[in-house]
């Protein structure tokens, strides 16, 4: 998951800037070491990795460099208040979650934290509509149905502006992954073998599986 703003003139980031809605003016951090740096021309960004929130700032007008400060309290177990006290309200323009929310146990808690720190939410989320909530893909995904997903997003204070199932467009990718996996002999690598078994399962009935397991594309503010 990333949440970011980028300078509009930075090559390749015009689309991201449009999604964010505004540019970074001056330093993204107004105190400490960064106060003595030249004005930022790049971005401020955040990501959630293993339920930890990290924030950073891009390169300055002189020598390109990257610096970062990290909130070490895991969001899944610690107090969400730590992050909201450290990151000011509205610090980020947009949060982008591409098939990552389905790996988070307490989705509502994360969405509520992002509501405080981000102006917009863009996400692509896997769901399972014809099975009860549970784990999937080697117990790494915490699956819920799309109706519950929508309720969870709205309960966190987000107003949904766009909601669409993109599974039909995504299903052909599974066949491509299966072809590539056939070139790899059986291994003891858990992720590879989980993906191999999952591809075989989907291949048995891709249309039926796709209808039962939506891939929701959403935008909210």
A 10 A CB-CB count for 56 gives 17
- What is 2-169+215-220's CATH topology? Rossmann fold (3.40.50)
pLDDT of residue 1: 53
Confidence of residue 91 (pLDDT cuts 50, 70, 90): confident
Percent of the chain with pLDDT over 70: 61
pLDDT (average), residues 38-44? 38
Question: How far is residue 51's CA from residue 161's CA, in Å, rounded to a whole number?
Answer: 26
pLDDT of residue 85: 62
Q: What does the pLDDT look like over 72-88, one tens digit per residue?
A: 334 443 444 555 567 77
Helix axes 172-182, 190-204, angle to 10 degrees: 130
Question: How far is residue 157's CA from residue 31's CA, in Å, rounded to a whole number?
Answer: 31
Confidence of residue 28 (pLDDT cuts 50, 70, 90): very low
Question: How far is residue 56's CA from residue 186's CA, in Å, rounded to a whole number?
Answer: 40
pLDDT of residue 112: 94
pLDDT of residue 15: 34
- Residue whose pair of structure tokens reads 């989907």 in the numeric block: 202
pLDDT of residue 90: 74
pLDDT (average), residues 200-214? 94
Reply yes or no on whether the pLDDT at 117 is more than 50: yes
Percent of the chain with pLDDT over 90: 51
Reply yes or no on whether the pLDDT at 184 is more than 60: yes
The residues spanned by each domain of the chain are 2-169+215-220
How far is C-alpha 121 from the geometric centre of its chain's CA atoms?
Answer: 9
Partnered with residue 217 across adjacent β-strands are 124, 164
Q: Which of 63-67, 71-75, 110-114, 173-177 has the lowest mean pLDDT?
A: 63-67
Q: What does the pLDDT look like over 173-182, one tens digit per residue?
A: 999 999 999 9
pLDDT of residue 83: 57
Confidence of residue 101 (pLDDT cuts 50, 70, 90): very high
pLDDT of residue 16: 33
- Residue whose pair of structure tokens reads 């989980």 in the numeric block: 194
Question: How far is residue 68's CA from residue 173's CA, in Å, rounded to a whole number?
Answer: 35
Alpha helices (runs of H) in 70-124, residue ranges in sequence order: 80-86, 107-117
- Spatial contact of 30 and 6, defined as CB atoms under 8 Å apart: no
Q: What does the pLDDT look like over 9-26, one tens digit per residue?
A: 333 333 333 333 333 322
Question: How far is residue 83's CA from residue 87's CA, in Å, rounded to a whole number?
Answer: 6
């Amino acid at each position: 998951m990333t949440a970011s703003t980028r300078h509009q003139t930075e090559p390749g980031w015009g689309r991201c800037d449009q999604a964010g809605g505004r540019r970074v003016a001056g330093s993204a951090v107004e105190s400490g070491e960064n106060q003595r740096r030249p004005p930022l021309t790049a971005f401020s960004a955040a990501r959630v990795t293993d339920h930890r929130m990290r924030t950073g700032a891009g390169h300055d007008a002189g020598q390109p460099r990257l610096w970062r400060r990290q909130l070490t309290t895991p969001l899944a177990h610690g107090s969400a208040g730590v992050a909201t006290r450290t990151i000011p309200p509205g610090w980020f323009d947009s949060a982008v979650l591409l098939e990552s929310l389905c790996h988070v146990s307490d989705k509502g808690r994360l969405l509520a934290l992002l509501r405080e720190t981000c102006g917009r939410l863009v996400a692509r989320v896997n769901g399972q509509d014809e099975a009860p909530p549970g784990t999937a893909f080697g117990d790494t995904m915490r699956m819920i149905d799309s109706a519950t997903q929508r309720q969870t997003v709205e309960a966190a204070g987000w107003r949904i502006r766009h909601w669409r199932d993109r599974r039909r467009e995504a299903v052909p990718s599974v066949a491509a992954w299966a072809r590539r996996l056939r070139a790899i002999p059986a291994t003891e690598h858990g992720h590879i073998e989980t993906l191999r078994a999952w591809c075989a399962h989907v291949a048995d009935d891709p249309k039926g599986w796709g209808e039962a397991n939506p891939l929701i594309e959403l935008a909210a503010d």
